Amino acid sequence: MLSILKQNTAASPPSAALPFIQVLSDIAGMGGGGGLQEVRAMQVGRPLSERRTDMYSFCNPGEFQSSPFLSARGNIANLFRGSTEEGYKAYHADKYDEDKNPNGIINFGTSENKLCFDLMSKRLTQSDMNLMEPPLLQYPDWKGHMFLREEVARFLTYYCKAPAPLKAENVIVLNGCGSLFSALATVLCDPGEAVLIATPFYGGITQSLFLYGNVKLVYAYLDSKITGTSTRPFQLTVDKLEKALQDARSEGVGVKALILLNPQNPLGDIYSLSELRDYLEFAKRHELHVIVDEIYMLSVFDESATFHSVLGMDRLPDPQRTHVMWGISKDFAVSGIRFGTLYTENQDVANAVASLCYFHGVCGPVQYKVAQLLRDRGDISAGQPCPSESCHTYVTDELKTLGVPFLNRNAGFFDLHVINALPFCSQYLRTGTFEEEMLLWRRFLDNKVLLSCGKAFECSEPGWFRIIFADKTHRLQLGVWHFLPLSITQSCLHSGHLIPFSNYLLSLASSISLHFPTPSPFGFEKGFGILLLLL
């Protein structure tokens, strides 16, 4: 710590934070929600009351530097990609490697589990995975090969604790849940209509809904304060959904659906059965479709936490408008294998989505491998421990030693713990704006650590960052004890605050939410990322 302080590195001036598009993805470790409208207004961090619900009513693309080779919507797509790739491109150009590039960037921002690659590599190269029959090399049913859809139905019946066997005819297979979001937005909404979602949320949903379907997002803003009916930070309530819906309708925005993330990304919340019923009843009253993303359903690290799937409920308030998504990216630690599945009892929705599977199909050999993985219920998906608990213990032990309070979360994400959360660094933001949050994000990146900033998830309060801890111990230690301390120290010097434990703060490689310096009444949680607040 002393050696770092002696460097007394000069902080970047505020003018270095040039306004740019905040529509950034989770995987890039940056932006998500905010969008071009905010850039045009150059009012990053303005009060929520001044924000409109039609955040994605894009201005004239001519206001931006456009390409003469692209259409208007092509330029918009290009703007999305340019903004999402900044952190991710830097990481791939200078990726940490213990032998080849020991001073490279360590990725604490991408929501994937790097702890079980050896296990999954071994399983995927076994002889029973290497079937290559003619049907696998031919065009399949675009909903997916029936053998896979049957296996998905059995798998979900078992793990979702469905009251009756789920039906293969209600299963559709696409190449990832991002494609499912795009397809559902396209078939449920007309261009210009909207989907309701609580913030903070996984920022990649923004691109999935807007780029294909020109579908807006309406935000139900959550905050960290415990007031009124909110008994925990960032709690989603029906009152907040009602307010967001009525505000949107008063502005003439047609809302057609509600998105629920359970377990929640990036907060790590697991909704109780009563909460799920309340949300679904709310949607039924307003005739909204409900898209339930349960991609982290098996990644519950804390044994005391109980996940309840919508598919496990005895009765759905509106089964024809309830659509459940799941995939293997998180629970099986194979994000490079693009596979997502939709379960819906509405055959009109199923057939409409299936018509788009032509563009988002999964190749036959991969479908076979996925079916084999789903059959390994006792070996892969529900029993093989990964070395994640030691990573969690490493972090929480440091926090306990330092006396750092952190609030409890009910989602800790299985032994693949791909749980997410956000650290709050407002003490290091002089004016508490999203522009300064971006400065701090770049400072982390300059010091070889890729994180996800709160703006990536359309967080209502500047200064939160998500850190992923599901990585090998030596990379965690290197990021925690070498690169991150330098960034924090620079921020301390920049803001005039010198915190003795600053070189520990970003060792928040776990699913915990830190809140400095106010003591938290919640204890701690386990998981995959963190919600951390440096006040």
Of 165-179, 208-222, 227-241, the range with the lowest mean pLDDT is 227-241
Looking at residue 85, its pLDDT comes to 74
Residues above pLDDT 70, as percent of the chain: 67
Mean pLDDT across the stretch 205-228? Answer: 89
User: Residue 76's pLDDT band (boundaries 50, 70, 90)?
Assistant: confident
Instruction: Pick from 353-357, 381-385, 411-415 the range whose average pLDDT is largest.
Output: 353-357
> Residue 56: is its pLDDT beyond 80?
no
Looking at residue 436, its pLDDT comes to 85
Q: Give tens-digit pLDDT for 310-341.
A: 999 999 999 999 999 999 998 888 999 999 99
Instruction: Pick from 5-9, 123-127, 264-268 the range whose average pLDDT is largest.
Output: 123-127
Looking at residue 414, its pLDDT comes to 27
The string over 239-272, giving b where at least 16 C-beta atoms fall within 10 Å of a residue's C-beta and e elsewhere, is ebbeebbeebeeeebebbbbbbbbbbbbbbbbbe
Helix runs in 347-410, H state only: 347-356, 364-375, 388-402
Burial class (CB in 10 A: 0-12, 13-18, 19+), 5: middle
Cβ contact 177:340 at 8 Å = yes
> Residue 45: is its pLDDT beyond 60?
no
User: Residue 64's pLDDT band (boundaries 50, 70, 90)?
Assistant: low
Burial class (CB in 10 A: 0-12, 13-18, 19+), 446: middle
> Residue 420: is its pLDDT beyond 70?
no
> Residue 524: is its pLDDT beyond 60?
no
Mean pLDDT across the stretch 123-129? Answer: 91
pTM here is 0.79
Of 101-105, 416-420, 511-515, the range with the lowest mean pLDDT is 416-420
Looking at residue 397, its pLDDT comes to 62
Mean pLDDT across the stretch 34-48? Answer: 34
Looking at residue 111, its pLDDT comes to 85
Average pLDDT over the chain, rounded to an integer = 74
- Is pLDDT larger for residue 271 or for residue 115? 271
Cβ contact 330:413 at 8 Å = yes
Mean pLDDT across the stretch 460-476? Answer: 79
Looking at residue 426, its pLDDT comes to 52
Looking at residue 427, its pLDDT comes to 52
